[in-house]
Structures are given as structure tokens and as C-alpha cells.
Amino acid sequence: MASQTEENYLKSLFNLANEAGEVNISELAQQMQVSMPTVNSMVKTLQKNGWLIYEKYKPVTLTSEGKKEAALVIRKHRLTEMFLVKKMGFGWEEVHEIAEQIEHIHSPKFFERMDEMMGHPTVDPHGSPIPDKMGRVQEVSYFTLSKCKTGQIVNLAALTNSSTEFLEFLNSRDLRLGIELQVISIEPYDQSMVVSFEGHPSETLSEKVCDRLLVRLVG
């Protein structure tokens, strides 16, 4: 069984994996906030456990067992976040820290029960998909608001970043998942957008913000 530390590494590996599934030691070290030698020894441990493939001086790759293990931890994390919001009244900006800890609880029943109580949610409070019990992640095809053209109407579906600061910024503008956004105009100089949405006939969003909002076409 994966230790708490190993679970955290697996999650980071899963999230950092690119199309080729490769992750560099330095990326992982930065993500995990530890030194490269620490990562070096941990990837050897994870390899011994059969969760990744490692060759000296090469980027590492999760095995299918590693991916499944990682996805199941992510499942626990996202179910917890959703439970905290839907059943315990927390704001979406408060739940990450707590879920970071509860994701390591060993009790299938506990997460089963959360899942049941919420009616088997498919996404977490930030719009990220919740892997199923087999560790399969449903593919979703959103695009960033910054890719939209003037006049388009879209649905805010997820975020590319869920930092507390960003979530608090969104709270301050009443930007919540599910709202319909219409692109009123785009400033050519800095790509900032003027958008309208329920109760906000005109709100300017910087490119930085638009890049972090994932939307889908209304319909």
C-alpha cells in the first residue's frame, strides 16, 4: 500500500504527465517542493513498487498500475472537495488544503458513502473530473475563454488553476461554475475581455484571468 508520501508523488506525477506521459525529475522536484536528490531516491522506490519506469538520466513514466493508484488518490481528493462544498457548506476556495489531508484516509467505505450521499458526482467544485472507482478519468474538451471571439456565448465549466487567490478573485466578481458568459469585446492591445453575465452587464477580465477559465459552447 502506498504511503502518504508516495501517494502525493503519484498524484503529482499523474498531473505533470504530458501527452507522452513523461515527467522530468526537476519538474517533479519543483512541484513537490523537495530537492532533486530526494526525488531521485523516491522514483527508485516507486519503481520498486511497480508504479513507474525509471532509467538514469531519462524522464520517468507511470506504469498503468501507477496511473490507477494515482487516479484513485485523485478520486478521493475530488470527492472530498465536493463533499466539503455540497454537504458541509465550505467555499470552493477553502477545500483544497483539507482534501490534501483527507485523500490519504484508508477507508473505501468512507469515500463510497460520500459518493452515494452526493449522487455520484462527476466533477469536483473546480470543474475537474472525478476518476471512477476503476481509476478511469473521463475526457473532457473545454477551451479557455481567451480563445473565444467577440459575441460568443459560453458556459463556465472549469478552471486551469485552483489557487486560493484565484478562487477569491472569482468570488469577488461573482464568477461561478455554470454561469453563461458573453464576450462583449476584446481589447487588441492586451487581450483583455469585456464580458457580461448574470447581474454583471459589463466586467473586464485580464488575459491572465481568461486563460484560466475553461468554457464550453452553450447548447
Which residues bind to Mn ion, rule: CB under 5 A? 8, 81, 100, 124, 126, 128
18 contacts DNA (rule: CB under 7 A): no
Q: Is 174 helix (H, G, I), strand (E, B) or coil?
A: coil
**What are the φ/ψ torsions at residue 73 (nearest 5 degrees)?**
-70, -40
Contact partner, 34, from a copy of itself, DNA, Mn ion, none, Cβ < 5-8 Å per class: DNA
Which three cell numbers mark 6? 508516495
* Strands (E) located in the chain: 22-23, 52-53, 60-62, 143-144, 153-159, 180-186, 193-197, 200-205, 213-217
106 contacts DNA (rule: CB under 7 A): no
49 contacts DNA (rule: CB under 7 A): no
Q: How far is the CB of 93 from DNA (least distance, A)?
A: 26
Which three cell numbers mark 32? 513537490
DSSP string, 18-58: -TT-EE-HHHHHHHHTS-HHHHHHHHHHHHHTTSEE--TTS
Contact partner, 98, from Mn ion, a copy of itself, DNA, none, Cβ < 5-8 Å per class: a copy of itself
Q: How far is the CB of 20 from DNA (least distance, A)?
A: 14
26 contacts DNA (rule: CB under 7 A): yes
40 contacts DNA (rule: CB under 7 A): yes
What span, in angstroms and rounded, lies between the C-alpha atoms of 72 and 133? 7
Stretch that binds DNA, among 20-28, 145-153, 171-179, 199-207 (CB under 7 A): 20-28
Residues near DNA, by CB under 7 A: 3-6, 24-27, 33-38, 40-43, 45, 54, 56-59
